[in-house]
Amino acid sequence: MIHRPLKSLKLRWRCVHKMVKQVEITSLDLRYESLRLKSTGAERQLLVSISQHGIRDSLQGVDTKAGRVLLDGFKRLRCAQKLAIAIVPYNSLGSDEALAIIELMRISNAKNLSILEQAKLIDELKSVHKMSNSEIAAHLEKSKAWVSVRAGIIAEMSECVMKKIFNGHFPVYAYMYTLRQFIRINRISKADIDEFVTAVSGKNLSIRDIETLAHGYFKGSEDFRKQIKNGNISWSLSRLKDRSANTADCTPIERSMLKDLEIVQKYMQRVISRSRDTRYKSNVFFAQSNLITGGILRQLDIFAKSIRQFHDKSRQTQSDLSTS
């Protein structure tokens, strides 16, 4: 661990010069570009703004012995390159990379740094600069839990998903608030998440469409999963939306059956997840759970047979209706 006294660090923040320099783009080291999210839409708007008004906010980096390393302003830099702007405003956050990363996180709000970008920067501080969660938390004046949550996000992500998100091919919001729910609640594997993200990335889908497809992919039939994996995204969305819209056309007894099926599916997934909990200890609990699970097991074969027959019947009926 590299120890950096907190008192001297705070003094350093107060003394950082806000002197803006004009520097050549070619002088900037872009090693941290992969730690910042790309957004085609945001960059397109920024390009228009810079073409009309120039670069209003200076780029920020750290001045090491090897040269200037850019930490913030990658969208502005790419826009400048597209507009053939060779000189950009630049502000140094010091000469120590770790302290500069920390300062960037301190002065950036949620709009400037997403939780995933914070997580990547924390991972950089831990893996490259050998700082502990406690040290990072103290310097940022955050709780250790705040740091641990972000470190955990990186740990649970695969390299495939990370690249898709940071390259702007898959929306970070869809991962954080849709896919992570499936990972935590439904115990979906990284391999399944990778397959889904790969199948829907780069299709310019809305957050709502991705959420709809995720429910169909992770909760639907294997046939439906294959349609999405094979790239039949429009067909899959159409079927899912039609299914939702057409529920109103069902009879009361049909809607009741659909509701029962949804409840069974929901609680099956919940029981699968909660059965792995290691906090169950009491004899009373295990005695009761043994009686209940025994009753479930006695009905399991006939239940599985009934569901399989009902699934086959519904699939055959759909096929007959589509060809009539």
Asked if residues 137 and 149 have their Cβ atoms less than 8 Å apart, the reply is: no
pLDDT at 160 over 60: yes
Contact of 129 with 98, CB cutoff 8 Å: yes
The pLDDT of 106-127, averaged and rounded, is: 87
Pairing of strands 28-29, 67-72: parallel
Share of the chain above pLDDT 70, in %: 89
Other CB atoms within 10 Å distance of the CB of residue 63: 17
* pLDDT confidence of residue 31: 95
Question: How far is residue 130 from each of residues 64, 101, 135, 169, 182, measured CA to CA in Å?
Answer: 18, 13, 10, 31, 32
The DSSP symbol for 74 reads H
The mean pLDDT value for 149-164 works out to 91
Residue 31, classed as helix, strand or coil, is coil
Q: What is the pLDDT of residue 134?
A: 95
Residue 13 pLDDT: 46
How do the domains of the chain map onto residue ranges?
A: 171-245, 279-310
Give the residue-averaged pLDDT of 288-301.
90
153 vs 176: CA distance, rounded Å:
9
Chain Cα centroid distance, residue 57:
28
Least confident of 39-53, 89-103, 160-174, 252-266: 252-266
Give the whole-angstrom CA distance, residue 13 versus residue 26.
28
Which of 92-101, 196-205, 230-239 has the least mean pLDDT?
230-239
- Does 186 score more than 80 pLDDT? no
Which whole-number Å values give the CA distances from 113 to 35, 98, 108, 155, 200, in the listed order? Answer: 11, 17, 6, 19, 25
Does the pLDDT value for residue 12 go beyond 60?
A: no
Of all residues in the chain, what percent carry a pLDDT higher than 90?
Answer: 51
- pTM exceeds 0.75, yes or no: no
Higher-pLDDT residue of 182 and 93 is: 93
Could you list the beta-strand ranges (E) of the chain: 20-24, 28-29, 59-64, 67-72, 87-92
Per-residue pLDDT at 321 = 46
Strand (E) or helix (H) holding 311: helix 283-323
Per residue in 24-71, pLDDT (tens digit) is 999 999 999 999 999 888 999 999 999 999 999 999 999 999 999 999
